[in-house]
Amino acid sequence: MLSKFSNRLINETSPYLLQHAHNPVNWFAWGPEALQKAKDEQKVILVSIGYSACHWCHVMEKESFENEAIAALMNEFFISIKIDREERPDLDHIYMDAVQAISGSGGWPLNVFLTPDTKPFYGGTYYPPVKAFNRSSWTEVINAIAQSWKERRNEIESQAENLVAHLSQSNAVTQKFNGAINVDEKNLFTIDQCHNMVANILKSADKTWGGFGRAPKFPQTFTIQYLLQYQYFTNSSEARKQALLSLDKMLQGGIYDHIGGGMARYSTDNEWLAPHFEKMLYDNALLIDVLCDAWQITNNEKYKTAIYKTIAFIKNELTQHDGGFYAALDADSEGEEGKYYVWQKLEIDNILGKDAPLFCNFFDISENGNWEQTNILRILKPSNEFIADNKIDPYEFNRIIENCLKKLVSERAKRIKPALDDKIILSWNALAIKAIAKAALILQDESLVKMAENNFIFIERHFIKTDSSPEMIHTYKNGVAKFPAFLDDYAYLISACLQLYELTYDISYLEKAKQYACYVIEYFSDNENVFFYFTNKDQKDIIIRKKEIYDGAVPSGNSMMASNLSKLSVIFNIPGWEERASKMLAQIIDSVEKYPSSFGIWASLLQQHVYGINEIAIVGLNAKELGNKIAINYIPYKVLMVSTIENARYPLLKSKPASLDSLIYLCKNYNCVSPFQTIQDFLLYMNKSIK
């Protein structure tokens, strides 16, 4: 039944904001109208931040924001603003930091109270409608804030000033090095640091269920990727074992959708059984990326299968007709978390008939259920062990399981699907382009080449602000592009361009990567520090320009830019870019070494500095064919350039004349060993050089 209410959010495009468009709360979107109204009326601003796939956001909306009595209080006392954290990650970062400073914890929904000039002074996450879970009720919070503003306004404003000063100070990264860094002289990056990072990672490793730390457990694909890179150089069986165990247990667990493919955001338990069910584009892009590494290293078909199944999920569930990738699928359907994904055993029995016992045994399905009296499909015993223990013919087992899964796909399609967040985010699309391009390359799959290139074409068509500038927009939906792009958008897009070049050998991707890097340096740099701001220097509606350093659910823009600058410095011979990347890493080297799980991309960059970038150039008539053969091999930290002719514009292709039999050049710092005539000789040399 439609609500009798509507508010200004009805004019927005964000699915999350539209979810609240019929609340009795007089919601505003963040913008001049709301901010000016708060100043004119000298009212406290309530900012409530969430995202469409957030379960507890839905809970608080249903309990409080749809409650007319509670809404009346909010309308009386506050200017209430709803923000989609995925549309405005800059605001989310600022006010999340504020709430964490106030309460020691954070999360979504994020509810923070601001003075009329947008300075935070109090906040928290989910509040129940009545006092519960050792939390004050939302009504109590509203009334307390309103009374405090009325009686102690000067004190609150002073508190807000102090909090903003604290946020500004904590945002500053210590400038350790002012001059040029000579890495060799200062001995900043060492193999011992790589060993220490692995030791620190393994301290928190779950040796039984994979992953790191305890519940809630996140995929931490950067950490897994670092361990795989480390084992390549050191032959560490322990690093390899923990990395692959983590991937295996996630792919066997309920966090992975065995029916439709794709992975949820995190697991609520140590065994990867029960996720919060929301499925985000970025998680699945990052999963594909690391699965590509696992496939290259092991040639185990289960990783190849998971790559294809995860890409199929993106294609089937998150792809717009003209190539853009949507943001996410909700956790809830029909108002209930996970309802779309769980099964009763009787359902399975009726659908699968005689094959049900085998299927239920393999996927841990029982009468009592494995989660809240229902069943989440998960694999407790790998298929090869299950086949051996049950003395089943492997071909027959695979045939039955595949047939059963197809039946469940058809049956599940009859259910009411979780809501789709159909906005298209530049940074997340760039992560997906990179991952799919990487998969296309190592699997030599032309359909995936087209998928990656079509998405890039979509991005160029809809996200470039003007034809005369590389300035980009952050989000797009229904023909409307919104908000200036953030550092992450550019950093991930540059990385995607570099991967697309390795896939296609189209030199235009390198030129675009360089163009975007120049733009970032001009518009996102801090003149007093080597790190980049999250926001463009022309953006004016924020109280602080933050610098994001940590690699969390997604890579930090700074770590990705440091990695990009290192590679681009080799491709275009720009020593200053490598120097800046080294300075960025050097400033936080101690933290990276001690807490590598929070600095996963930085950890890989440190290891790259230790072992160096393999500069591989192939020149000759069949250069592209040889490039493809090299690319299917796992070689971390490389720049691969391929050309049928000599190209003086690029240092790695300069002074390397083409010949009928292409030559393979392997260099470091532009110093090359004797060229190789065959892939076999090249790979043999590479294998010897790392031992």
Segment 352-368, tens digit of pLDDT: 999 999 999 999 999 99
Measured CA angle at 320 (ends 253, 10), to 5 deg: 100
- What pairing do the DSSP bridges indicate for beta strands 614-619 and 638-643? parallel
Segment 453-511, tens digit of pLDDT: 999 999 999 999 887 789 999 999 999 999 999 999 999 999 999 999 999 999 999 99
Q: Confirm if 544 and 171 have CB atoms less than 8 A apart.
A: yes
Q: In whole angstroms, what is the distance from residue 353 CA to residue 411 CA?
A: 14
Q: What integer pLDDT is reported at residue 659 of this predicted model? A: 82
- Within 10 A of 468 (CB to CB), how many other CB atoms are there? 7
Segment 371-388, tens digit of pLDDT: 999 999 999 999 999 999
User: Which of 225, 223, 320, 327 lies closest to 280, judged by CA?
Assistant: 327
In the numeric block, which tokens belong to residue 372? Answer: 């809240």
pLDDT higher than threshold 70 for residue 40:
yes
Its pTM stands at: 0.95
Segment 74-118, tens digit of pLDDT: 999 999 999 999 999 999 999 999 999 999 989 999 999 999 999
In the numeric block, which tokens belong to residue 100? Answer: 């964490």
Q: What integer pLDDT is reported at residue 169 of this predicted model? A: 85
Q: In whole angstroms, what is the distance from residue 338 CA to residue 264 CA?
A: 11
> Who contacts 269 (Cβ-Cβ below 8 Å, separation ≥6)?
215, 217
pLDDT higher than threshold 80 for residue 186:
no
H-state helical runs in 42-83: 55-60, 68-77
Q: In whole angstroms, what is the distance from residue 635 CA to residue 639 CA?
A: 10
In the numeric block, which tokens belong to residue 677? Answer: 């005539």
Confidence of residue 133 (pLDDT cuts 50, 70, 90): confident
Q: Identify the CATH number of the domain defined by range 8-171.
A: 3.40.30.10
Q: What integer pLDDT is reported at residue 3 of this predicted model? A: 60
Q: Identify the CATH number of the domain defined by range 204-333.
A: 1.50.10.20
Q: What order do you get walking across the sheet with 28-29 strand by strand?
A: 28-29, 78-84, 44-50, 110-114, 120-124
Segment 632-659, tens digit of pLDDT: 999 999 999 999 999 999 999 999 988 8
- What pairing do the DSSP bridges indicate for beta strands 663-668 and 671-672? antiparallel
Q: What integer pLDDT is reported at residue 175 of this predicted model? A: 45
- Within 10 A of 170 (CB to CB), how many other CB atoms are there? 12
Q: Confirm if 303 and 394 have CB atoms less than 8 A apart.
A: no
pLDDT higher than threshold 90 for residue 689:
no
Confidence of residue 178 (pLDDT cuts 50, 70, 90): very low
pLDDT higher than threshold 60 for residue 180:
no
Q: What integer pLDDT is reported at residue 179 of this predicted model? A: 47
User: Which of 431, 384, 194 lies closest to 289, judged by CA?
Assistant: 431
Q: Which residue has the tokens 């779309």?
A: 340
Q: How many Cα atoms sit within 13 Å of 690 on the Cβ side?
A: 22
Percent of the chain with pLDDT over 70: 97
Q: What residues pair up with 325 in beta bridges, in sequence order? A: 319
Q: What integer pLDDT is reported at residue 184 of this predicted model? A: 53
**Max CA pair span of the chain:** 85
Residue 29: strand, helix, or coil? strand
Give me the chain's average pLDDT, please: 94
In the numeric block, which tokens belong to residue 96? Answer: 């999340």
Q: In whole angstroms, what is the distance from residue 648 CA to residue 661 CA?
A: 20
Q: Confirm if 119 and 514 have CB atoms less than 8 A apart.
A: no
| Domain map (residue ranges) of the chain | 8-171, 204-333, 345-414, 614-689
Q: Please check whether the two domains, 8-171 and 204-333, share a CATH topology.
A: no
Segment 198-249, tens digit of pLDDT: 999 999 999 999 999 999 999 999 999 999 999 999 999 999 999 999 999 9
pLDDT higher than threshold 50 for residue 174:
no
